[in-house]
Structure formats: C-alpha cells, structure tokens
Structure 1
Amino acid sequence: MLEKKTRIAVIIYIHLTILAMIFIRHPMVMAHEPHDVVRRVAISPEFASDETVFISIGTTIQKSTNAGSSWVICTHGLQTNKPIVCMAVSPALDSDKTIFSGTNGDGIFSSSDGGESWVHGGLNGDSVLSIGFSPSYEIDQTVFAGTDGGGLYKSTDGGSNWILLVNSPIGVPITSIAISPKYITDQTIFVATRGQGIFKSADGGLIFIPLACPAIPSKFESLTISPMYPSDNTVFAGSSREGIYKTVDGGISWQTVNEGILDTNINDLVISPTYELDQTVFAATRERGVFRTTNGGSAWEPVNRGLNEWTGQTDNHWLSLAISSSYSVDQTIFLGAFEGLFKSINGADAWRQLNTIDPGTVLSIAISPYYSTDGTIFYTTYKGGIYKTQGNIVNWDVVNTGLTRTLLWCVIISPKFNEDKTIFSSGFQTVFRSDNAGLLWRRMDYGLENVGDIKSIVISHDFYFDKTLFAATAKDGVYKTTDGGLHWYPTVLRYTDINDLAISPQYSADQTVFAAAKIGVFKTTDGGITWQQIWEGSSNPKSIVISPHYKFDTTVFVGTYGDGVYKTTDGGATWECLSTGITDLYVQSMGISPAFHFDHTIFAGTKGSGLFKSTDRGQTWYSVGFGQTDLFMNCLSLSPQYDLDRILWTGGPSGVFQTKDNAQTWQRISSVVRFEETEKMFVLTGKWWTLPFSYASASKITCSRSIGGKIWLEFVGTGVSWIGTKGKWMGIAEVYIDGIFKEEVDLYAPATQWQVPVFEYELGDLGVHKLTIKVTGRSNPSSEGTVVILDAIDVLRFDYTSKGHNLRFFAGHEHQ
C-alpha cells in the first residue's frame, strides 16, 4: 500500500512539473470573477482624505470608506425594487453628506447622512437617468435630474421640491448633465439626449438651445466638462455610435476626436481635474474597455491591462467611470462594468478587480433537526463556500472539499440527519450533496443545464424513503428529483424566475409545494405534475414559509419586494396583506416558529431595516435585532426547539448573528472567511498554474516553482492563514504582510499533507492588509523539489481571542 501511494505521489509531481514547464501566464493576471453589474460609480470630492466611494448594484447602493477594499450595503430607506441607474454626490459631501440616486421607474432618492439612510425625493414613476449638482451646491442648493422622456427637473432647495424645466428636451431620454464650474455666475448647463443631440442653457435652465447640427449625431450617452470651462470653453461628448466629439467654443461647433478609438460606442467619459495641465480624458466603451488621451483628444490609446476581456457577452461591458479629485497625485480611477468593479492607481496603466460583495456574506443557514443533541449548524456564503459547527458556535470548520463552486445560495439538511448525515447545497446550475456531514461533497446536477442560479431547495420530510427534492431556478422554473439528486427533471412550471419554495410538512400525503416566483405564487398538490397560480401581484414575492401545522391551519406567509407580508389561511385561495408595524416593505427572508400553533411567532428579514417579529400570526409587527450591524438580512433560521430555547440565527453581509433570548440581545458568531481560487480572487505574477485536485479545498490548487513568482491577496481582517500543501517535493516560500517580510515557510514534509495551515499571522485591529507569497526556488535539503502550492487563504475578521473565542481551521488530510 505504501509503495502504491508513493507511486501516485510521484505521478502527481511529474504531472505538475510538466505543466510548470509548458504553462505560462501573463506577467500579471487579474483573476477575480464578480457576479454583479456595477452600473454607476460615484467618488467623494475629498477622496484623498476620506477614501469614500459609492457604487450601485441592482437595487442597492454600497459604500466603501477604504478606497474599495471593503463595502457596506446602504439600503435603509431605499424602498424600491427598481435598479439604481445613476448617482451623484454633493460637491460638499464632507459637510452636507448629501447623495442623490436615480432609479429606473421609481423616481429619485436622497441621503443626507452619507448613504446611511435614504428618503424618497420625488419624481414618482419617473426613470431618472442623470443627476447633476451645482458646483456651488452648498450655497445655492441646486441640483438637476434628467428623466427618460419626461424632461429635465431642477431643485433649488436640496431636492425637497422639483420643477420641470418646460423648455428642456421632452420625449427623449436625458442621459447626461454637465454643469459649468462657475455655474453660480454663468448659469451654464449642457444636457445630452438619446435622440435629439445636445442642448445648452445659459440661464439656469429657463431656455435651452439645441446644439445639434449636421456635424454631430443625435444619440449621446455622456458629457464631461473642462474644470477650466469658463476660460477654455471645452466639453467632450460620447455618442452611442459615432464616438467622441469635442467643442472648444462652448458648443457652437464640434469635431470628432476618434483617433485611436477602436469602439465608437461610448458609455461614459471623465476628465482630469487638472485637465489644463495634463490634457487627460478617459472613455469607457461598450466592448473594448477604456481609452485615454493625454493631448485633449487628438489621439487615444487603449488602457486595458488587467481588464478581463470576456467571452461573448452581449451586454454593455464597461459602463461608468469615476476619477479622483486628487488624480494628479493619486492617479486613481474606478470603472464600473458588467463584470464588476475595477480600480487603477496609476492613471489606467493597469487595473485591479475589486470584490464588491464580501465573500463572507452569508446567504443561507441550516440547523440540524437534532440541534439540541448534536449542535450542528451549516451556513453558505457568497464566495467563501460552506461553514460548519458542532456544539460550539465559536469554532467553525470550512467544509469545501469536493465543491467546484463556492457561491452557494442554499443549504438544507436531511430530516434524518442523525442517521444519513446528508446535506444539500446549491449554486449556479449545480446541486452538491454530502453524505458525511459535509466532509466531502459531490455534484448532483444531471438535468440542470441552463437553469441559472438555483436559489432554493426544499426536501421532503420523508426524504429517507422517497428521496424527493425540489429546486427553484432563476431561468427555468421548478425542478424535481426523486432519486436523491442523481437526476433532475423540470416540472410543468417552466421558464420563470423562482425565488423560493415551501414544502408541506405532510408532503408524502398531500404532495403540496408552494413556489414564490417573480410573477406571483404557484401551488402544486400532485408533486409538481400540475401547478396553479394562486396569487398574482405587482410585487415580487421573495420568500415563502409554510406553517409547521399546515395540515390543520393551511397557513402560508409570503414576503414581497415592496408590499410587505401576505398571508393565506386557506391554502392560497385568498390572501391578506399583513404589514402593520413593518417599516420596510422589502422582505427578503422569513422564518416561522416550529410551535407556531402555540406561540403564533413569525419573523421577517428586510432589505434595509433589519428584522421584524410578530407574535399574533402576522397581524402586527415590531422591530427586533437591536445590536446587529446588518440591516440587509439575507436569511434567518429558528432552532427546531425554538419554543424552548428561543434561539434564532440571521445572516447577511456582516456574518451570522445569534440570539438566545427571543431576539432581545445578539452575538456575532462567525469570524473566518475563506478565499478560494475557485472564485479566482488572487493576483498572480510570474508563472503559475491552477489544477483540479480532489483533496483540495474547493477542488483546486494553484502552483508554481518559478523563482520570484508571487501570489497576493488584499483583504480586510485581524488575522490571516495560508492554507497550503506540504510534502516531499515542496519548496520554500517567503511570506510578506503589507510588504514587510515575515517568515520563510518550509513546505517540506515526509508525508503529503493537504489543506493545512502552513502560515498563520495575527494582525491586531481590523484593517486593510496584503498577504504576499513569493516562490524562492529553494528547498529543504531533504526535499526533492521546489513547488509552492496555494490551496486557499483564511481571513479572521474579528479578534475573538480576548473573549475566549478561537479561529479553527479545517484539520486537512495526510497521505503517506
């Protein structure tokens, strides 16, 4: 047996060596693959000191106060289910904290506390495509909003009231607003439209003059005005088909400036704050990335090093730009894209991709049916995989062995977990199953092609016998398996986005399942053979829970995205809106007491206002969860013995929280986030290669024996651990923290060890740090090689040591 294992190890080493010689990466590889479209970026006027950036993703706004290293979701009061399509920050953000955001169909929102909370600012029903502040906003309180066909609006009281500028372009989208730096004296505004060209006003919007002439097209997406406009009269305009135009006489005449532009579909333009000195402008194009001019538009060059050039996307890739007000010093630019967020700190010579949603964001929590005796909890994360604890909430294992994806929307536990140790989790077109309590996962996705994200799975309460599960898919309705996940097939509920599922506790008898879809709620009473739409509403049902005593009370609750909570007590025949006391009508998650027939308790987690509780079957609600930092609540789960222990868990961007006293006080109980190569989160320089490997966390390892090769990760945390491999062919690596050498790590071991912490370091206070691993090409005298392997990196987010908490890493594997 020993000789056989040794031969296997030799084969692996030879395979790695051959690949090392033939596989060469570019000198710098940006490898992170985000899953969120960053439509707009807005940067603080005081970025050099406050490092504040805002981005819009879908219906949410996120804020960073460390130049994009980490983000918080700012949705308190942002009561909309419409995408945020534009944003602007006050020129005096440091003092007035004012931000405006425009939605695609729900008017405008404003914040006066730096994004911490929002109020609806009017223009109900309008799509607001562009916003422009007066440069003297602190004095004149003037702001403009361009709509999708409804004209241009103006406020002179900080957004409290809006007036339609009747001479502004009507009936066409107003896509961009550029305001003179000396607006307080010259009252000059330019607006770009998608259909009628460019307009100019020199009296604060009372009269607009069309600047269209045969020289320029009619459809424009972006304007940017020179910071020295009062003297140089320069404006650049980006069109949707004909490239970039420039005027140096205040719009009287225009000329094309497309020399070097390889894509004339221009989505955005930004101009250097010191344009009079550096003559620099940047353009974001639809398909060919970013272009730069340093001579006022006479010639452009592509500046795309580090931007991923993806594979056949038909959506607009490169959407918006934001430039630091201290660009001449810090050279910082942000780029919002279909593929996520990029940042450059050298004037776009190179770009780095940023995480916009934290990999440790908790998406689902599952509690063992036998929690009172086994203490088992699992939770899934945005990109960090699956975490498990047994009996001690302060010690968590990362259980990613066998996973090939680590963005996992759902985790569920078998009703007979004490016997079969079975768990399921779901991601993009994939279901994973473990039959040993998470130690090893295997894919179970036969039949799940082209279904998109699998957002929810429900399991029959008689799964031990009937092997039945249902899956909610983002593209193709509800799927079912009756062989424990080996084969999946579509039910007749097809071609629609399903957000959540609820299965009857007596499924084996009544064959009942409910589906919350974007277009309403559906019900089957024959195991998915047929479905009936039982509720059709304008709001998007996001979550659904069924009474544990459904057989007797036929009660179901639905959380909607805009209308709060609905309830049926007749199996869906009639519905009642029950939202009294819920101040946030965007309900993302729900949980019901296992003793609902006795305590009448139900919880609702919201988009921006945290957790609400009802103890009267949903008739009235009140806010709970004080002491949590997460107002954006992705999931919640109640103890199977909630009527006795009063334990509840919630999950969101800040991790997992637990209460043991009926939601009176809370404790954060998650502390470690795993960064995996599966999600390509690391920056690589030199020659590296990535291989699938069954013993690895998330089934991949990243390897090199190239002298001087580096792999690094920027993270926010209080501690870090390199999860790697030791063995008889491993070499020596140097490890640096924040650019400072810390240790030489000798990876030699006589027996191969996978998934082991080879380097651990405590950093103290929570902050932004960088871990760098460098290949030396040297090795232990006993070693037969110089290979360095990175499996994963674990980041400790909170210093629990002083409170008796421990960061516990997965024990790993050893092979003789």
Structure 2
Amino acid sequence: MAKIRLLGTAALLVALLGVGSSGTAALSGVGVWTTTGPFGAQVQALWVAPTFASDPIVLAGTWEAGVFRSTNRGQTWEPGSLTDHSIVALAAPPNFAVSSLVFAGATDGFFISANKGRTWSAANAGLGASPRIQAIAATPTFAADNTVFVGTFATGVFKSVNGGMAWDPSSVGLTSLSVQALAVSPDYAQDRTVFAGTFSGGVFVSRDGGDSWVAANVGLALGEDVRALAVSPAFADDRTLFAGTFNHGVFRSTDGGATWHERNGNLPAAGLQVLALALSPNFAADQTLFLGSPGGVFKSTDGGATWADANQGLIPFVPVRAIALSPNFAADGRLYIGTDKGGVWMSTDAGVTWQPVNELLTGLGTANFVQASPEFATDRLVFVGTAGGGIYKSTDRGVTWERLINTPPTPAAMAISPEFRTDRVIYAGSLGSGVYKSTDAGRTWARVNSGLGSLRVSALAISPYFGVDRTLYAGTDGGGVYKTTDGGNQWKAVNTGLESSRIMDLAISPFYFSDSTVFAATYDNGVFVTTNAGGSWSPANRGLISLRVNALAISPQFNTDKTMYAGSSWGGIFRSTDGGQTWAQFNNGLPGTYVVTVCALEMSPTFLTDQTLFAGTCSDGVYMSRDAGQSWTALNDGLWNRQVRSLSFGATAEGILFAGTTGGMAWTRELGSAVERTHFLYLPLAFR
C-alpha cells in the first residue's frame, strides 16, 4: 500500500476507506471505536424476499464485497459470509417461505444460502474450472423438481435438478455461450419454456426444460447484446416478455418470443443501453416496468410504449445495474435500485422520488486513500479515492460526501500542495491513468503525464517547499520513481541505484529544501534513500530483517533527531535514529514479534515532545506508543475489523487520527491521554 505524506506543514490525513454518503455524526465515542460512515457499494444485483410483508429481507450483491443483507427494508445492512466475492446475480426459488433458500452467482462460482442469506456455501460440482455465473433462474415448480438454471460467461447454460448441488451442461443449440440473462416461464409446468439472453447471439428459447435451444431473434438485430429479460407474470395468457439490449434499447414479444418489436418510445440515448429490467408483479393490470441504464432509471406505465425519466433525487449519471420490486408493489410502491458506486436507493412512491439506503453497506471495493486539506482545521475538507469510483469530497470532516467528476478511474494516491490555501492545487495518482492535477480544489482535473514512463502511480510525495520549488515525486508499481520540478508539466525517471521498480511508499524530509532527502519503501528490496533530490539512490537496509516494507514515517524534527520508522511484512516495526543508515526492531507489545505485518505508521506532529507514534497492523488493529516505539499498547476497543491499512494524524485543535482498513465504513474514537482530545476515524478498505 502506498501512503502520501505531506511534511513541513501540519501532518494531515492519509488513509483508505469505502465511500458513499451518510448523515451519521462523524466524531463521537470516548475510549471506544464507533462507526460513522460513509457507506456505499457497487451494487450488481438485488433481491427482495417474496415474504417481504412479514419478513422484510433485501439482499444486495456487490462488486468485490459479497452479499449484504438487510432485515429492515434496507434501512441498515450487514455483510454475509461472501466477503471479497463479486456478486452479479441473486435469485430464490418460489418456495422460499418454506425452504429459506437463496442463490448467488459470482465471478468465481455459484453459492447457496439455506438461512435467508446469512451464510453461504459454494456449490460448483459440474460447473467446470473457475465458473463465472452471470444469471440464475429457478423454476416455478422448484418445490417439486428442484430445478435451477445458471448462465455463465463463456460456457453456456447449466442445469441442476437437485437444488444446485450438482450441475450438468444444458447448452445444445446455443451458438453464443456468454449467457447474461435467464427467464423461466411462469407456466413452466406445462410449457417447459426457458429463455436465455446472450452477449452476441440475441435471445434463445428452450421448450424442453433446457435440453435444447433455438434462436428467437426475429425483429432483433443480428448479434444483439441482450443484458436483461423479464417475463410477464401472466405469461400463460399474454405471452409477453421483454428483452433489454445494450445497443438498441427495449424489445417486447407478445407471442412467447417468436417475434420482437422495439418499445423505446421516447427513451433518450442513455436509456437505450439497458442494464436491468423489472416488471411490476401486477403487470397484467398496471403495465408497469422499470429500466436501469447508464442514464439512470426510466419507467413505463403502458407496457413500454412510452417512458418517463424516474431519477428525481438520484445522483446524476450514475449507472443503474439492478432493480428489484416489492412483491407488494401495487400497495406499497416500493422498489430498490443498485447503482455503480452509489450503493442502494429506495423509492416508496413507485419511482417518483428516491433516497439512499446505505447505512452499514460497506462494500465499495478498495478505497485507496483519504486525505485532508492542509487547512483542515478551518475548511474541514477531506478527499477520498476509491477503486473504480473516482474521488469523493467531504466539506464537513467526512459526515457527507459528494462524488467529483472527471477524476481518475482508479485513484491510488493523493498529494495536496502545502500552499493549498492560495493555490488550491491537488495531485492524484492512478493505477493505470497516471497523474491528475486540479487547480481548483478538486472541481476539475487534467492529466499531467508528459515524460511519465509508467501510468501505475502508487505513491506521491510533495515537497514541503512546493510553492517555491514546484517539486513532486511519483512512485509507481513497476516503473520506479519519477520527479517533476515544474508542478507536473514534465516528469523524468530518477531511478539510478534504485534496485526495485515497485514502490510501496514515499517519505520526503520536512527539511527537503536543505537536505534534498527522500526515502522509498519497496515491495521486495527494503528502503532506499536519496540525499541529492533523486540524482541517485542507495539502499538503507542495515538491520532490516524484512525487506518488504509497506510504510515509512519520518520525524517532523528529522533535521535534529534523524528519526524514522519502517513498517514491514512479517518483521513488524523498525526504527532508525541515524537517518536510515541502521535499523533496530521495535516490536515490544505488538502481537507476534517476528510475524506481525505492519501496513501503516503515523507520528504525532509534536513527536519531539510527546514521543507518540501509531501503528496499523494488517490483521491486529491499531497500536500506540508513547515512548518513541519502545513499547506498544493496543487501541482496539470496538474495532471489530482490525485489518488496518493506513494511518494519518490531523494536527487540528482536536487532533484527528484516521485509519483505513479492509471494508468500507468509518469509525471514530476519542482518546484523551496520548494527545489532548485525540479522535480516531476508522475508514475500512482493502489492501492492494
């Protein structure tokens, strides 16, 4: 993990967290960690229990964070046992009220829950190596025949007749084996009909329970990309189903799939890229259906003949990937949508208005940093970078968040100018898109990559004298270190003597103007130091018994005490008091002296007088030392997720320490003894 250090001014915030929005008060709790948010996730799938009126369960399938479960209509969420899995499909058999069965399709297989989504077990027998499930459909006769179908990324359809415990191929006649949608006829007991929507072959139909398939594409474009299928609940009578395509919008068939007719009415261009479809349970009477797209939600009340924008209250231009309606929709008007990075939203007026329902939904994947403004004591400004979700900004110390536009798609590091009050300059490093620069406090961004040989930027370090020297260093994952002396207009490699290309962290001396010193922590070769502003590097590893160094911390009084710390994998913490020439292990009080992995370090900005240092371990939580590392004490009361990845201290009147862990929610803790009125905000996140 890379941290970004801003030294020479007040030591500020650097951490990792999941993002979203929450109105929970951000700073509370004395002597114990408490959660505050923000919350959110990339939601790929949603499911509402058929027993919702009496048992209001909602499940959300997320990218890289598994299935989340709500038992109170989405007001709060809890993770299931599928953490770290990417879920793209959720379904349950019609006899859910009796069986409590729920199915989940993931990028790494099929999973079954027998307790309404609380816990899950893999069930991949017969699916082949590395099955990637994209769609699930159980028969309406499941209670009698135990039949369920899955559509896969590249191996077609599989069928199980024992509730998913074993699978057989069911793809005879399919000419496109990437199956993205499945729908079973409500009259399956009589007609044995199943529909499959494919990536490049349009729609296929089976009228023998999946034994064989034929194309059903009359009226569809050749090679149509079908993302969603929805069958009328009254299919036996009206023979109606809908297909949502990614290129040409919505099509309807009223003859059981024999022919298709476009039903795009007044849909805008963004609505023609269909990601999800859902029909009202009372469709035969109300003719209502909803469509999810990159342009948000659209609603039709005339069977798709015309459409209306249904995005009031939603984040603009956030793709909607999943839609689920209450089985009592006719009475309660309730439906849920799953968005790309915006979590779950709920409407209780049939889509007229929306509100986020993300409390404790901690699944936004990897959030790679959080960093405060150098003027944090007065402006309360904090930035968060999330994997695939861009950068978010809070102007109230993390209570609420807004997503910034045109930011890097995979931000991994941030550096804020020490002259931020006047120049408003921010840099963001991205894993794949290089360095971005903003000159208006994050409102707009531009790429500044000229001369940058690697676009996988994992660490940034800005000169404490940036207003004068315009110097910034970028550490990359695979390309070593780059330097700019003109604020990012031009970069050059500065790797002479650097024996590793994978940079985990950079730390720049608070007195860089006079000592020209920068340290680099590497993935496989320990610590390197330059004392000539990147002209050449030398190893600084004497005494280090672990050369995988994850984090560095450098004293604010480095010019006099020459003190710095290194956090390593499997070797714990090392201290140097001679500017990195020699190191000694300082693990007294840490768990597993020779095996503990330290992912984050942070020093009090008044270290010279209080000798206070914080360590985040990769699996055992946060530790504090009040004697410059001689001994350590755990600070974990209430911190149930102890996989800490980042720490940073904010030198405000309150003193705020931020910590990042795996997951995606925030916590805060007030500690009144180490540093006066110290608060801790825990910001969970996944370690790269």
Look up the match of 2:75: 69
> Is the Cα contact below 8 Å between 2:42 and 2:365 reproduced in 1?
no
Q: CA–CA distance in 2 between the matches of 1:442 and 1:117?
A: 51
Query: What is the letter of the counterpart of residue 514 of structure 1?
Result: A
Following superposition, the deviation at residue 657 of structure 1 comes to 5.4
Distance 1:255 1:488, change over 3 A: closer
1:388-424 Cα distance to aligned partner (Å, 9 max, x none):
xxxxxxxxxx976334335379xxxxxxxxxxxxxxx
Distance 1:211 1:42, change over 3 A: same
> Is the Cα contact below 8 Å between 1:152 and 1:174 reproduced in 2?
yes
Distance 1:505 1:247, change over 3 A: closer
Query: What is the letter of the counterpart of residue 327 of structure 1?
Result: F
> Is the Cα contact below 8 Å between 2:157 and 2:169 reproduced in 1?
yes
Query: Please, what TM-score do these two structures have when normalized by structure 2?
Result: 0.58
Unaligned runs of 5+ in 2: 1-36, 387-410, 428-434, 438-446, 449-454, 464-468, 496-500, 551-567, 576-583, 598-616, 644-651, 657-665, 672-676, 682-688
Q: Quick check: 1:272 aligned with 2:272?
A: no
Following superposition, the deviation at residue 278 of structure 1 comes to 1.3
> Is the Cα contact below 8 Å between 2:477 and 2:503 reproduced in 1?
no
1:302-323 Cα distance to aligned partner (Å, 9 max, x none):
222223334xxxxx82322111
Look up the match of 2:351: 348
Following superposition, the deviation at residue 274 of structure 1 comes to 1.2
Following superposition, the deviation at residue 211 of structure 1 comes to 1.3
1:230-263 Cα distance to aligned partner (Å, 9 max, x none):
2322211112222222222222232222222233
SS in structure 2 of the partner of residue 329 of structure 1:
helix
5 Å-filtered alignment, 1:629-668, equals 636-640=621-625, 647-649=633-635, 656=639
Q: Quick check: 1:431 aligned with 2:415?
A: yes
Distance 1:265 1:364, change over 3 A: closer
1:546-569 Cα distance to aligned partner (Å, 9 max, x none):
9xx95224414589xxxxxxxxxx
Q: CA–CA distance in 2 between the matches of 1:642 and 1:101?
A: 49
Q: Quick check: 1:405 aligned with 2:382?
A: yes
Unaligned runs of 5+ in 1: 1-31, 311-315, 366-379, 387-397, 410-426, 461-465, 533-545, 560-588, 604-612, 620-631, 664-693, 699-794, 801-805, 811-816
> Is the Cα contact below 8 Å between 1:648 and 1:658 reproduced in 2?
no
Distance 1:636 1:592, change over 3 A: farther
Q: CA–CA distance in 2 between the matches of 1:256 and 1:362?
A: 37
Look up the match of 2:253: 247
1:686-715 Cα distance to aligned partner (Å, 9 max, x none):
xxxxxxxx99x99xxxxxxxxxxxxxxxxx
Q: CA–CA distance in 2 between the matches of 1:116 and 1:103?
A: 16
Match of 1:284 among 292, 300, 306: 292
| Higher alpha-carbon deviation: 301-310 or 507-516 | 507-516
Query: What is the letter of the counterpart of residue 633 of structure 2?
Result: I
Look up the match of 1:307: 314
Q: Quick check: 1:332 aligned with 2:310?
A: no
Percent identical pairs in the alignment equals: 23
Distance 1:152 1:215, change over 3 A: closer
1:495-554 Cα distance to aligned partner (Å, 9 max, x none):
xxx9982569999999763345xxxx687745495999xxxxxxxxxxxxx9xx952244
Look up the match of 1:445: 426
Distance 1:278 1:297, change over 3 A: same
Q: Quick check: 1:157 aligned with 2:157?
A: no
1:324-351 Cα distance to aligned partner (Å, 9 max, x none):
1111122112222335243211111122
> Is the Cα contact below 8 Å between 1:480 and 1:488 reproduced in 2?
no
Q: Quick check: 1:192 aligned with 2:174?
A: no
Q: Quick check: 1:85 aligned with 2:62?
A: no
Q: Quick check: 1:617 aligned with 2:608?
A: no
> Is the Cα contact below 8 Å between 1:132 and 1:178 reproduced in 2?
yes
Q: CA–CA distance in 2 between the matches of 1:354 and 1:475?
A: 40
Q: CA–CA distance in 2 between the matches of 1:557 and 1:77?
A: 29
Q: CA–CA distance in 1 between the matches of 2:480 and 2:342?
A: 27
SS in structure 2 of the partner of residue 276 of structure 1:
helix
Distance 1:98 1:513, change over 3 A: farther
1:764-815 Cα distance to aligned partner (Å, 9 max, x none):
xxxxxxxxxxxxxxxxxxxxxxxxxxxxxxx9999x9xxxxx99999xxxxx
Look up the match of 2:211: 206
Look up the match of 1:317: 319
Q: Quick check: 1:99 aligned with 2:102?
A: yes
Query: What is the letter of the counterpart of residue 431 of structure 1?
Result: A
Q: CA–CA distance in 2 between the matches of 1:116 and 1:140?
A: 25
Distance 1:322 1:430, change over 3 A: same
Q: Quick check: 1:237 aligned with 2:243?
A: yes
Distance 1:200 1:362, change over 3 A: closer
1:191-236 Cα distance to aligned partner (Å, 9 max, x none):
1112222111222211222212255554211100111222322211
Following superposition, the deviation at residue 36 of structure 1 comes to 4.7
Q: CA–CA distance in 2 between the matches of 1:121 and 1:338?
A: 28
> Is the Cα contact below 8 Å between 2:459 and 2:475 reproduced in 1?
yes
Query: Please, what TM-score do these two structures have when normalized by structure 1?
Result: 0.50
> Is the Cα contact below 8 Å between 1:467 and 1:482 reproduced in 2?
yes
Number of paired residues?
Answer: 509
Look up the match of 2:227: 221
1:347-366 Cα distance to aligned partner (Å, 9 max, x none):
1112224447669999999x
Q: CA–CA distance in 1 between the matches of 2:339 and 2:636?
A: 31
Look up the match of 1:121: 123
Q: Quick check: 1:514 aligned with 2:521?
A: yes
Q: CA–CA distance in 2 between the matches of 1:204 and 1:362?
A: 38
SS in structure 1 of the partner of residue 542 of structure 2:
helix
> Is the Cα contact below 8 Å between 1:43 and 1:89 reproduced in 2?
no
SS in structure 2 of the partner of residue 321 of structure 1:
strand
Look up the match of 1:555: 546
Following superposition, the deviation at residue 646 of structure 1 comes to 5.4
SS in structure 2 of the partner of residue 39 of structure 1:
strand
Query: What is the letter of the counterpart of residue 404 of structure 1?
Result: L
SS in structure 1 of the partner of residue 252 of structure 2:
strand
Following superposition, the deviation at residue 40 of structure 1 comes to 2.5
Following superposition, the deviation at residue 280 of structure 1 comes to 1.0
Q: CA–CA distance in 1 between the matches of 2:236 and 2:522?
A: 60
Look up the match of 1:258: 264
> Is the Cα contact below 8 Å between 2:227 and 2:275 reproduced in 1?
yes
SS in structure 1 of the partner of residue 54 of structure 2:
helix
SS in structure 1 of the partner of residue 379 of structure 2:
coil
> Is the Cα contact below 8 Å between 1:592 and 1:638 reproduced in 2?
no
Q: CA–CA distance in 2 between the matches of 1:524 and 1:321?
A: 50
Look up the match of 2:302: 295
RMSD, aligned α-carbons: 5.7
Q: CA–CA distance in 2 between the matches of 1:601 and 1:111?
A: 44
Q: CA–CA distance in 2 between the matches of 1:591 and 1:403?
A: 36
Match of 2:62 among 57, 65, 70: 57
Query: What is the letter of the counterpart of residue 276 of structure 1?
Result: A
1:570-592 Cα distance to aligned partner (Å, 9 max, x none):
xxxxxxxxxxxxxxxxxxx9786
SS in structure 2 of the partner of residue 230 of structure 1:
helix
